[in-house]
Structure 1
Amino acid sequence: MLILGLDPGLGTTGWGLIEANGNRLSHRANGRLKTDTSAPLPNRLAHLDMMLTALVADHAPAAAACEEVFVNANAQSTLKLAQARGVVLANAARAGLIVGEYAPTLVKQAVVGTGRADKAQVHGMVSRLLPGTTIDGPDAADALAVAICHAHHLASARRGA
């Protein structure tokens, strides 16, 4: 099953595509979708939506997973992140994908073993879990971690059923 992991952001949305066959995970692709910081907000959101539509059409994932919004000290940044996340969720739903949603601490727990891992630890474990993968920066690493978390939760649900 191809799983698309998404780490939403208005400036940069990370994405990672993995294939899950039972307990085996393999890397398919990863990258970053960037919007023009000088463009008006509606245009940036529309551009993000168009890039996501092309990404889903190119790779045809069977499932998607998205990181939940964490609240930070800057309310304006949190609001922009939430708007980008809304575009990500709506786009995946429009494509017919059911989206798993995971808190950042749960993603870190699933990949690193602790919910308080830093970005370098997440990146390092993603590299170990998907050997030989060239990761396109921290946003892509986070997106791959979200996809790995989703694969683990789907496998657990199958075992429990």
Structure 2
Amino acid sequence: MPSLTVLGVDPGLVATGYGLIEPAPGGVLVLASGVVATARDLALDARVQLIYDGVDRLLAEHAPAVLVLEDLYTEYRFPRTALLMAHARGVICLAARQRNVAVLPLAPAEVKRAVAANGAASKEQMQRCVQRMLGLRDLPTPSHVADALALALTGFSRLGGRIQ
């Protein structure tokens, strides 16, 4: 199979997690993972600029085949959260578009079902499942990194990649 490098991104205004994977003999290799961090006291426009710049750097450096992005969701009690998250998702989509990288949106519950076999899995369950699936020595932390790696794994699988 040709190389299918996949970048998973868990958007957040304070911490945007990312995880970059590609096929390797016997499984999947983590090429990079981490967080694009901003500060709570920064203005919204400054925060989204930092997110855009961080994701754009990753796209320029690694040229993934696809960017898997957590789909927007909200609880009815917190509509403002969804509106704020839309800003982060928007600049991530823009960075991908400008680098000609396809975006695959996935719902959080779909990713949780694919990785933990439970659409309501806790953050800790997701971290442990990602650690096991990728053969990582340490638990992926913070949880935003585990979520981004889970997005990448699910996208990889949906696009025909095999995780052994």
Deviates more, 1:23-32 or 1:122-131: 23-32
Do structure 1's residue 24 and structure 2's residue 24 form an aligned pair?
Answer: no
Q: Structure 1 residue 76: deviation in Å?
A: 1.7
Q: SS at the partner of 1:155?
A: coil
**Structure 1: unaligned runs, 5 residues or longer:** none
Q: Structure 1 residue 54: deviation in Å?
A: 1.1
Q: Please report the TM-score for the alignment, with normalisation by the length of structure 1.
A: 0.90
Deviates more, 1:132-141 or 1:35-44: 132-141
Q: Distance in 2 between matches of 1:147 and 1:132?
A: 15
| Residue equivalent to 2:144 | 139
| Residue equivalent to 1:149 | 154
Q: SS at the partner of 2:47?
A: helix
8 Å CA contact 2:111–2:151 kept in 1: the answer is yes
Q: Please report the TM-score for the alignment, with normalisation by the length of structure 2.
A: 0.88
- 1:11-53 alpha-carbon deviations (Å, 9 max, x no partner): 1100001113598322111100111221211111112111111
Q: Which amino acid aligns with 1:66?
A: L
Q: Which amino acid aligns with 2:29?
A: S
| Residue equivalent to 2:15 | 12
Q: Which amino acid aligns with 2:35?
A: R
Q: Which amino acid aligns with 1:116?
A: A
Q: Structure 1 residue 65: deviation in Å?
A: 0.3
Deviates more, 1:137-146 or 1:109-118: 109-118
Do structure 1's residue 45 and structure 2's residue 53 form an aligned pair?
Answer: no
Q: Percent identity, aligned pairs only? A: 34
Q: Structure 1 residue 132: deviation in Å?
A: 2.4
8 Å CA contact 1:22–1:155 kept in 2: the answer is no
Deviates more, 1:95-104 or 1:72-81: 72-81
Stretches (4+) displaced over 6 A: none
Q: Which amino acid aligns with 1:127?
A: Q
Work out which of the residue numbers 79, 82, 91 in structure 2 matches 1:78.
Answer: 82
Q: Distance in 2 between matches of 1:115 and 1:149?
A: 13
**Structure 2: unaligned runs, 5 residues or longer:** none
8 Å CA contact 2:127–2:141 kept in 1: the answer is no
Q: Distance in 1 between matches of 2:141 and 2:117?
A: 23
Q: Which amino acid aligns with 1:104?
A: P
